[in-house]
Chains A and B, each alone.
Chain A
Amino acid sequence: MSLLLKNISLPLAHFTLEVDVDVQKHVTAVFGPSGAGKTSLLDLIAGLRAAQSVFIQLDDRVLTDTAKGLFVPTHQRGIGYVPQDLALFPHLSVRRNLLYGHKSGGPENPLFSLEHVIEVLEIEPLISRGVTELSGGEKQRVALARALLASPRLLLLDEPLASLDAPLKAKIIPYLARVRDEFQIPMLCVTHDRFEALTLADEIIVLVDGKVMQTGPVSEVFTRPANAEVARLVAVETLQPGNVTNVNEGLATVSVNCATLTALAPPTPSREVFVCIRGEDVILQRDAATTSSVRNRLPARIVALRAEGALVRVELDAGFPLFALVTRPACAELALREGESITALIKAPAIHLVPR
């Protein structure tokens, strides 16, 4: 799929949304803090909002071109939209919500048949209920199913997990992943949660105050932020692929290259994970002998030191690239030098495992 967003200029309350990107990947996350213009961007793509200057092309079809005065009405765009508040129709049953956009009769793609969608999202038991009788997670699945049943060519998801608490999030993520894999619909997913972006997306567009700060593969953006603003947003200095080898009593053993780490097991069991460690969670220690509650003690070699304001970013080789952030006085006290050996301590809860 190819979604071309060009020359977008939309004045909002505090800034102007300016976007110029070419989205090629299957699942792309629009990532940014709240109020960055993410929802406005989705509204523009869906044709729910007009702007002075917009060019939007989905595959070979131009949807909006203000220069030529072209605007395909929303209902002819074939773009599914699951908004943050889900917008289930309160006066209709779950079944009638699902069938609202479903075209019955005619040559139908069996992938988007009612039976198949209901099966994938497991909503059979909900179908005759009223919308108001559903729980948050159930509503989420019904809204997703409703959008899918209209056989969209692109699916827009606005903060699909933001309104759910942690256990529910863990339940919904597999459904989103199933939708992604089962229906092969390109998805554009707005989020302000970096782990959500990491779990679902191939590519990420970082949006801050209406401006695109960086685009690229998720792991690249997270480990090599283009500027300080993006770095502050993503704030994950270490991001490495790893494999969960064992889960015992809520603790996971993860192998990363030749190192082995202990972390809290992720809510959704997955063998292949991204290991995320923030720089300030890595403690450096000279002598390795002392005992403490810290689960992970990694012998490491200092590769590079870089001053960043009051902090020093220490690049380590602990069997995998590991970054630590320490204060300047700490750096001086420990007399850190490139090439030296040191022990890196990381508490198990400070290691985030994100399914990949």
Chain B
Amino acid sequence: MTAEEWQIVWFTAWVSALSTLAILPFGLALAWALARRDWPGKSLVETFVSLPLVMPPVATGLILLKILGRRGAIGGFLHNQLNLDIIFTWRAVLIALGVMSFPLLVHFARVAFEEVNPRLEQIARTLGASGWRVFFTITIPLAARGIIAGMILAFARALGEFGATIMVAGNIPGKTSTLSLSIFQDVQLGDDTHAFRLLGVSVVMAFVAVWCSQLLMRRKGKM
């Protein structure tokens, strides 16, 4: 493995992990609101959040490109006010990965929250616990398995993201190149040995992620 390859592996791993952590608070909040509350427009939000799961990733990427570009609503604001560019930087990779893996996290966390007996939360409140305390001491621990499963799947989805990333971040070596983008490019250029080495790394990373999740599940199951 060359230094350049290590850089690609390292970048892909940390940007995927960071995107999973970044969407976690929003994902949990939305999943809880979907599982426990009824509000107007709920089904609309549900559908909207699931869109990246069913739409072609490249289409999602194009939407992000339009919003985050210098002439886009958010991108324009950030460029003019904070002199911050998103498109074709690592930040674009982060956002693309987050948006693409968000539905998976929300889906799993929602199912996990729905499986927590609301009576337990209610009785915790009669014991003097505030809403936040109930959430962190009863709801989250009891939903932990589902939430962790959702996080691992979100992370795995981020590791393999291709379509949306290439639209908003391009494939700039040393800057926005991820594993998927590099493998694609190497195959295009006929550099098979390079591609196979990265393929090997992908397999190892996927294996470790799934293996970790299974170990975690087994330990939780014993509780």
Give me 5 A-to-B residue pairs in the complex whose CB atoms sit less than 8 angstroms apart, sorted by A's number: A75-B126, A78-B128, A87-B122, A87-B123, A91-B223
Residue A150 at the chain B interface, CB threshold 8 Å: yes
16 more A-B contacts (CB under 8 A) besides A81-B126, A101-B129?
Answer: A74-B122, A74-B125, A75-B129, A75-B131, A77-B126, A83-B119, A87-B117, A87-B119, A89-B138, A90-B120, A91-B223, A100-B124, A100-B127, A146-B127, A147-B127, A150-B126
Known A89-B138, A90-B142, A91-B142: A150·B127 in contact at CB below 8 Å: yes
Residue A85 at the chain B interface, CB threshold 8 Å: yes
Identify which of residues 135-154 in chain A touch chain B, using a CB-to-CB cut-off of 8 Å.
146-147, 150
Q: Which residue of chain B lies nearest to A76 when distances are taken between CB atoms in the complex?
A: B128
Q: Which residue of chain B lies nearest to A156 when distances are taken between CB atoms in the complex?
A: B126
**Contact check: which of A80, A89, A91 meets B126 at CB < 8 Å?**
A80
* Residues of A with C-beta under 8 A to B123: 81, 83, 87
Tell me the bound Cα distance from A136 to B223 in angstroms: 20
Residue B130 at the chain A interface, CB threshold 8 Å: yes
The residue in B120, B126, B223 that gathers the most chain A C-beta atoms within 10 A of its C-beta is B126
Interface secondary structure of A, over-half rule: loop
What 0/1 readout, one digit per residue, does chain A (48-79) give for beta carbons within 8 Å of chain B? 10000000000000000000000001111111
* Residues of A with C-beta under 8 A to B138: 89
The size bracket of the interface on B is: 10 to 19
Distance from A41 Cβ to chain B, minimum over Cβ atoms (Å): 15
Tell me the bound Cα distance from A89 to B128 in angstroms: 15
Identify which of residues 122-152 in chain B touch chain A, using a CB-to-CB cut-off of 8 Å.
122-131, 137-138, 141-142
The size bracket of the interface on A is: 20 to 34
Tell me the bound Cα distance from A79 to B128 in angstroms: 9
Contact A150 B128 (CB under 8 A): yes
Identify which of residues 143-195 in chain B touch chain A, using a CB-to-CB cut-off of 8 Å.
none
Tell me the bound Cα distance from A77 to B128 in angstroms: 8
Tell me the bound Cα distance from A27 to B78 in angstroms: 65
Residue A103 at the chain B interface, CB threshold 8 Å: yes
Tell me the bound Cα distance from A89 to B124 in angstroms: 9
Contact B126 A79 (CB under 8 A): yes
Distance from A314 Cβ to chain B, minimum over Cβ atoms (Å): 48
Residue A46 at the chain B interface, CB threshold 8 Å: yes
* Residues of A with C-beta under 8 A to B137: 100
Q: Which residue of chain A lies nearest to B141 when distances are taken between CB atoms in the complex?
A: A91
Tell me the bound Cα distance from A108 to B213 in angstroms: 45
Distance from B83 Cβ to chain A, minimum over Cβ atoms (Å): 46
Known A90-B142, A91-B223: A85·B126 in contact at CB below 8 Å: no
* Residues of A with C-beta under 8 A to B128: 75-76, 78, 101, 103, 150
Tell me the bound Cα distance from A184 to B141 in angstroms: 35
The residue in B117, B119, B122, B127 that gathers the most chain A C-beta atoms within 10 A of its C-beta is B127
